[in-house]
Chains A and B, each alone.
Chain A
Amino acid sequence: MSYTSQDNAGISSGVKNACKDIFKCMQCGVCSGSCPSGRHTSLNIRKLVRKAARNSDVIREEELWMCTTCYNCQERCPRNIDIVDAVLGIRTLAAHEGIMHSEHRKVSELLLEHGHAVPIDEENRKNRVEIGLEELPETVHKYPEELEEIKTLLSSCGFDRLLGKKRKGSLKRK
């Protein structure tokens, strides 16, 4: 799969590529019956799989981001379809079109800046010292040269550019 922004035909072949197996789906519903998210949210993974097989518009579905990647559906699917891998693949297409939640963008920016998705804060610097640990952990937080490595790596991978991308479509909120 190429990771540049794509036209509609490109997205649609990207979706098919992300989940080739989806055509094996017999719509039995074992996946949605096993889905903890589907019990409490509007995610219907069986329908999402069907939609992905038909329509590239699936990249705009809000439900895509309700999957906790718990793998229940994939483990139990009688047709051995790699459902979660497909969800991840479709999410990638969405993200590369600039369609992402602002919170996810924020977490990504934290990774770019600190090398951690959840960096240290004042309260926990204090907590660490009070229980007898050093104020900073033995991670990139303590070693600035190592943090530079992460920054080099993320820019080599084009991750910073991905985040700079303008949103081309919006999530369908129900």
Chain B
Amino acid sequence: MKGLTIFLGCLIPNRYPGIEMATRLCLAKLDIDFVDLEGASCCPAPGVFRSFDEPTWLAVAARNIVLSETLQRDILTICNGCFASLADANQILKSEPQLREKTNEHLAKLGKEFKGNVEVRHIIEYLYKDVGIDNIRSHLDKTLDLRVAVHYGCHLLKPSRSRGLGAFERPEFFDELIECLGATSVDYPDKMECCGAGGGVRSALKDDSLKMADHKLSRIKEANIDCIVNACPFCHMQLDAGQEEIRQKTGTDYNIPVLHYTQLLGLAMGFPAEMLGIDRNVTINKDFIEKIERILLSEEME
């Protein structure tokens, strides 16, 4: 099996570094062969840059892919947006010779060339398919007795013909990854609905974007859960920072903790909450922090 490079993107290292730390700790604990993708840039974000100019979007994505090709490693993304850009660009460049030629003309100015010999993976599907539930279970220290609202996010699954992860309407693999940690993935209405951040909506039309987040959060709140778990730092930001923005606008205070899956997995592996950056969100729920501290102090698993 090829080793991996980890692709950080923008939001993880620059806004939610706890997710970066959690990813590093979890991958190391699982004995996965990974290195940093030194000199990587923005993926570039699909919402704005693919809209504005597809050749630019392709070229910048291709450069990131080439960095990994040079190391002969597959790319591991931890974000649905990075996954959408890099996996789609990889697919387009592999299958469309004309676009590949054009892109390589730009890359030639950097002495680089897209060859098309690595794959782009998303950490959730990688953990599910390649690492496996049983293997993950054998690396856990704690049973997380938590009620979780899982948020898949859009671009992990769609467009489904490019993702090949099966039905997008009622997927289960992410729920299984949560339940293998001892937690319960609680079903809730509009579970598969978008957080409202993507497509450049959060950056340009904040109020419209927050209406979608507000709806999603209200459904989650009704489901009586301990936390939200996502697969994407952009959904993470929308659901975390968005709660504060909604509170200021409407007065509704949801106070729901938001975790990236790597942070939840890190807890189940016994790493402390501060190391995983869980206490550095915008929305901090003290009861939740106390609850996970109790779990972490409890006896090790049998």
Contacts and interface: CB of A to CB of B under 8 A. Distances in A.
Contact of A67 (B48, B110, B199, B274): B199
B14 interface: yes
B8 A138 contact: yes
Contacts of A117: 10, 42, 44-45, 48-49
Nearest to A149: B110
B199 A139 contact: no
A123 to B, nearest CB: 9
Ranked nearest first, the 8 interchain pairs of A and B with the lowest CB-CB distance are A146-B39, A137-B13, A71-B158, A101-B204, A40-B211, A69-B199, A70-B194, A138-B36
A37 B196 contact: yes
A154 interface: yes
Nearest to A102: B204
Interface string A131-162: 11100011111110111011011101111001
Interface in A37-79: 37, 39-41, 65-72, 74-75
Interface in B100-146: 106-107, 109-110
Contacts of A3: 53, 55
Interface residues of A, number: 62
B280 to A, nearest CB: 6
Interface stretch (A5-13, A23-31, A84-92): A84-92
A100 B38 CA distance: 32
Interface residues of B, number: 63
Contacts of A91: 51-52
Interface in B21-42: 21, 36-42
A93 B107 CA distance: 25
Interface of B: 8, 10-11, 13-15, 17-18, 20-21, 36-42, 44-56, 59-60, 63, 106-107, 109-110, 154-155, 158-160, 168, 193-194, 196-201, 203-205, 208-209, 211-212, 215, 274-275, 277, 280
Contact of B13 (A41, A101, A128, A150): A128
Nearest to B200: A104
Contacts, number: 211
Contacts of A143: 38-39
Contact of B208 (A37, A95, A128, A150): A37
Nearest to A121: B14
Contacts of A14: none
Contact of B14 (A70, A96, A118): A118
Contact of B204 (A71, A96, A103, A154): A103
A169 interface: no
Contact of B40 (A39, A95, A124, A140): A140
26 contacts: A65-B199, A69-B46, A69-B47, A69-B199, A75-B159, A91-B52, A92-B52, A95-B53, A101-B205, A103-B203, A104-B200, A107-B48, A111-B42, A117-B10, A118-B15, A127-B18, A131-B21, A133-B13, A138-B37, A140-B40, A157-B56, A157-B59, A157-B106, A158-B56, A162-B52, A162-B56
A132 B203 contact: no
A120 B21 contact: no
Nearest to A100: B52
Nearest to B107: A153
Nearest to B24: A133
